[in-house]
């Protein structure tokens, strides 16, 4: 079978899988066979080498992308936010809020930070307490095991002496 005028490369499937699936396949295959602009040199020479792997024919740069397209939707969104400088870490955002906030808001924010620090300290103390408890349990178990071993040895000695 192979290529046909109406359904092009989907002709290899004949009448199997349904029209909708074959049309979707054509759209995806068209996109993946198309040449794309290289993110490094800018020429339209990027070709798909394998699922998610692309190489530029001009500068020979290799990079990862989507399975069918070199740029994924989530990647393009992230690229735009970074370009707009809208991507700010939480600490920077908090610092900006502190600068613009009134004195009352500053106090509230500082209290929140203090409670977060206190919570972290309490968590550290709890983890240390847990470790200490585990160590104490091990020590007591070791002591009990030693006592039991001593008793067993004494019982064995007594049995040997009786024989």
Q: What is the pTM of this model?
A: 0.47
Picking from 37, 58, 83, the residue at the C-terminal end of a domain is: 83
From 25, 54, 83, give the residue that closes a domain: 83
- pLDDT tens, residue by residue, 29-74: 888 888 899 989 989 999 999 999 999 999 999 999 998 889 888 8
Report how many domains make up the chain: 2
Torsion of CA 69, 38, 58, 61, to 10 degrees: -80
Residue range 98-123, pLDDT digits in tens:
666 666 666 777 777 777 777 778 88
Distance from chain centroid for Cα 145: 45
Shared-domain flag, residues 109 and 134? yes
Cβ–Cβ under 8 Å, residues 68 and 86: no
Range of the domain at 110: 90-162
In-domain check, residue 1: no
96/155 same-domain check? yes
Whether residue 97 sits in one domain with residue 79 = no
């Amino acid at each position: 079978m192979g290529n046909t005028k109406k359904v092009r490369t989907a002709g290899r499937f004949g009448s199997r899988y349904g029209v909708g699936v074959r049309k979707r396949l054509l759209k995806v295959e068209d996109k993946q066979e198309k040449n794309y602009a290289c993110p490094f040199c800018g020429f339209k020479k990027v070709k798909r080498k394998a699922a998610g792997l692309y190489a530029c024919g001009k500068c020979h740069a290799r990079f990862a992308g989507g399975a069918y397209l070199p740029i994924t939707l989530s990647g393009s969104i992230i690229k735009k936010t970074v370009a707009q400088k809208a991507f700010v870490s939480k600490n920077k955002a908090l610092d900006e809020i502190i600068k613009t906030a009134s004195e009352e808001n500053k106090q509230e924010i500082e209290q929140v930070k203090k409670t977060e620090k206190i919570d972290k300290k309490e968590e550290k103390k709890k983890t240390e307490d847990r470790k200490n408890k585990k160590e104490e349990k091990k020590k007591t178990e070791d002591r009990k095991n030693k006592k039991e071993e001593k008793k067993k040895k004494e019982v064995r000695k007594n049995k040997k002496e009786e024989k």
